Structure 1
């Protein structure tokens, strides 16, 4: 049985209104807790924020949404449904992969469509290999979903269950790239089903095969896009939480925690003091540990994932070869990962993610205009260029990136840009992200499962961590689960799970009463600019 917070937990303060904090808030409200959310920014979202310039509506964080049933669990906790709050549009194809040899492959999540595409691209033998790979990914997800992704760990002994044996028999403790290679001979196809390891901050040849579950989410379960952009998701979560009694204090920064013995008694902000019975901390780990006044001892310092340069470009035209998400692979592969994770060099032959959200939602740009998001992975500031270096490097890197895109078929992109915003590791550092990366702590074996920074901190009885630095990890679905797990540490209840036959948007049996009072109690939302 996992540990839970002891003592009173009637009023919980959640620090941070990102996806983890909002997920925790909804699950806490559903369990009858009163919740106050403290957010330093003027609106919710955290990493999944919103930037507006030149008439363009830009998502500043994740652009890929998978596993909407996990989002729906948070809404279901208060008797709401995702489908009533956000319109999710299936992205088809999920990706378009373009390779250095000029070939291209559309990645479909429908099995028959993808099998036909693989056969067209690489022949019948590879199509059969894809069928086997798809089956393995599905079994891997089923083995991990309930016991590893959606579970708290109090010690490594928590792993000792029949599910661990099942995962081992599936090859989950081998290497991701080698496991994919068992099914696919074509090196280009292997990239399509292993590039996701970069989300985990590890190269495919070194990443545990267990993390191929990310490829299941991307290439099997389906990719979606919320109408209004990814920011529509945290906005809807915050609105729903407010309707059910959560108090939001925007534009307010947590500065310290008051403590009596091993209990946090209040969160002190730059604008006042908020008493609490328990607290959920979602900032970056160094910030959370500083607030707590203590950090867990680890034999080796935490390693962080690579960072990224992101160019948001509003253009007066677009290019037909682009899909909603386009993977533009360079010729190099393993050497690129060595540069990103070991030598700290900028990619000599970059692989890029190009997202054109106006493919699915033209309203994100002015009429006749198009929004392009170019993500170029780069080393974090712990092993690569530091923040000061990026001051001079940024404009040169931006120009080189545009020349490379022009060479890869986006002819004239530099002259097509009418509004833009460039983000570098220096900017991520300025936002408080450790090692200048928004992807947090990498998923090496020593930072996985029970070895990852835990969401309970020794010496503090009523504080819980949530977010991508703690369990289960990085990415939209894991971060949402981290909020759910943090709430369960406080309430002792895991909340609604996927359950048999659960579909995104399906409602649970009954609507819980608002946490702000008895039946019919008014909803109070406090917004501080």
Structure 2
């Protein structure tokens, strides 16, 4: 069996490990932390537990895909609940719209809150989203690219996207279905996951809206950290070796210039015929490949990065208000102005929209009895675009978020807390201090995004949010699978 090393036991690395182990490769996963998870980690403090990574889980079939590759199945994750509502959207005028768990219930929610015309349009909107998804996923997302010309290998799918208006602006596309501006916000804010303002993002990114607002948002009984735990257990049971507390300091090369393995910080070497690296791509080149010129978007000062976020993990005495959902989006009134500040001027949003997730609603063991485990997020500029002194701003931001909780009916008697700013994200190895990697501008999408293969160093491949297909739990799971395909093409496995 050909040995393969995977650097990083986050979602991308574990997905790659599951696919590679299932294909018969001898896989070793090396991880600098003391356990699996990567960005999808867990913080425990004072009887409270906090998921430190992604909060919104969509498309669980992609988790199932990786687990099946390693001979397991989705039951290994434990009970998985579809959240209903997926979101509670709260607007500046005091109104609320729930994103319901079924199409029928969502149509009724829109009828009750926005009127019958928009409710009728919802069915057309769903049909449009599904057509976008079916055109994009198999032809432009779940595929490897070797050059921009590969965009032409599926001419029917490309023509379908043109017919669907996928290359107009997302905000305009959503407005073509709905008259209520609240619905436009609700079904276009997902562009932020791709690092883009809804009014400037292409409508192709409505596929993200399809994934969460139509296909649903889920939550594992054990919290989001249960996902990497299940993937790690499946890979290990299938034969992979997982080495924790093992940071990598170099990618080794053979005399012929091919990958030969990795050297760990303690001096130990792990031999391999191929390496899958899941570090943020710019960081990987800076730390492990200093002699290779990075792809353009990964070079200092050249990439266009997504906004960052301040995240406040806070354990509080008291329970959330009865109307609170697991995920609560509080939309600001100054929508366009806030995106201009964030993305164009590099300043804080003048009227920020915020996310509050109350995981203890569906995982009571994440907080002591009578208490709540909260996650509060506010988008902020990344360190490249912003001019904010976070050492000075962090305590002021914390106080604003604390006041916001009380003003919106959440319990605010703080027991434990941890605040993460772009400085902390950078310390964790995230380029430009953002956990959302390179933005999905057109020059950084598909074949234009940093590739998942380094042809100047045969045997080196990449996975994670900094390469194809991009950011978000579904995308990084797919990236692990795509990297495994690259390895299989480079090192035909036992079954080929």
TM-score scaled to structure 1, two decimals? 0.89
Relative CO higher for 1 or 2, CA cutoff 8 Å, sep ≥ 6?
A: 1
Any idea what SS the aligned residue of 1:492 has?
A: helix
* Structure 1 residue 385: Cα displacement: 3.6
Give the distance between the partners of 2:385 and 2:279, measured in 1 at CA. 23
The match for 1:307 is 308
Contact map agreement 1:119 1:126 (CA 8 A) in 2: yes
Deviation per CA, 1:87-122, whole angstroms, max 9, x where unpaired?
A: 211111000000000100110141110000000001
The match for 2:275 is 279
* Structure 1 residue 175: Cα displacement: 1.1
Indicate yes or no: 2:258 matched with 1:266: no
Deviates more, 1:348-357 or 1:164-173: 164-173
Contact map agreement 2:77 2:220 (CA 8 A) in 1: no
Deviates more, 1:303-312 or 1:401-410: 401-410
Match of 1:89 among 74, 81, 96: 81
- Name the CA shift for 1:476/1:87 in 2 (closer, same or farther; >3 Å): same
Give the distance between the partners of 2:456 and 2:302, measured in 1 at CA. 20
The match for 2:341 is 339
Any idea what SS the aligned residue of 1:65 has?
A: coil
Match of 1:330 among 327, 332, 341: 332
Match of 2:284 among 283, 288, 306: 288
The match for 2:406 is 406
Consecutive unaligned residues in structure 2, runs of 5 or more:
none
Give the distance between the partners of 1:113 and 1:297, measured in 2 at CA. 46
The match for 1:151 is 143
Deviates more, 1:477-486 or 1:281-290: 281-290
The match for 2:464 is 467
Runs of 4+ in 1 over 4 A off after TM superposition: none
- Count of aligned positions: 484
Any idea what SS the aligned residue of 1:199 has?
A: helix
Contact map agreement 2:3 2:26 (CA 8 A) in 1: yes
User: For residues 110-189 of structure 1, what are the structure 2 equivalents within 5 Å?
Assistant: 110-160=102-152, 161=154, 162-189=156-183
The match for 1:205 is 199
Any idea what SS the aligned residue of 1:481 has?
A: helix
Give the distance between the partners of 1:218 and 1:262, measured in 2 at CA. 44
Any idea what SS the aligned residue of 1:66 has?
A: coil
* Structure 1 residue 321: Cα displacement: 2.6
* Structure 1 residue 457: Cα displacement: 1.6
User: For residues 238-257 of structure 1, what are the structure 2 equivalents within 5 Å?
Assistant: 238-257=232-251
Deviates more, 1:298-307 or 1:364-373: 298-307
Contact map agreement 2:82 2:101 (CA 8 A) in 1: no
Deviation per CA, 1:327-351, whole angstroms, max 9, x where unpaired?
A: 1011110111111111011111110
Deviates more, 1:233-242 or 1:258-267: 258-267
* Structure 1 residue 164: Cα displacement: 1.2
* Structure 1 residue 180: Cα displacement: 0.4
Indicate yes or no: 2:413 matched with 1:419: no
Give the distance between the partners of 1:382 and 1:489, measured in 2 at CA. 32
Match of 2:50 among 55, 58, 65: 58
Deviation per CA, 1:154-203, whole angstroms, max 9, x where unpaired?
A: 11110112211111211111111110010011111100000010000000
Give the distance between the partners of 1:456 and 1:489, measured in 2 at CA. 7
Contact map agreement 1:86 1:233 (CA 8 A) in 2: no
Contact map agreement 2:282 2:294 (CA 8 A) in 1: no
* Structure 1 residue 482: Cα displacement: 0.1
Give the distance between the partners of 2:295 and 2:92, measured in 1 at CA. 45
Any idea what SS the aligned residue of 1:398 has?
A: helix
The match for 1:230 is 224
Give the distance between the partners of 1:315 and 1:405, measured in 2 at CA. 11
* Structure 1 residue 286: Cα displacement: 2.1
* Structure 1 residue 360: Cα displacement: 1.1
* Structure 1 residue 301: Cα displacement: 1.1
Contact map agreement 1:295 1:457 (CA 8 A) in 2: no
Indicate yes or no: 2:190 matched with 1:192: no
Give the distance between the partners of 1:126 and 1:301, measured in 2 at CA. 42
Deviation per CA, 1:184-240, whole angstroms, max 9, x where unpaired?
A: 111111000000100000001111111110000110001100111100010111111
Cα RMSD for the two superposed structures? 1.7
The match for 2:477 is 480
Any idea what SS the aligned residue of 2:162 has?
A: helix
* Structure 1 residue 458: Cα displacement: 2.9
Give the distance between the partners of 1:243 and 1:88, measured in 2 at CA. 22
Any idea what SS the aligned residue of 1:319 has?
A: coil
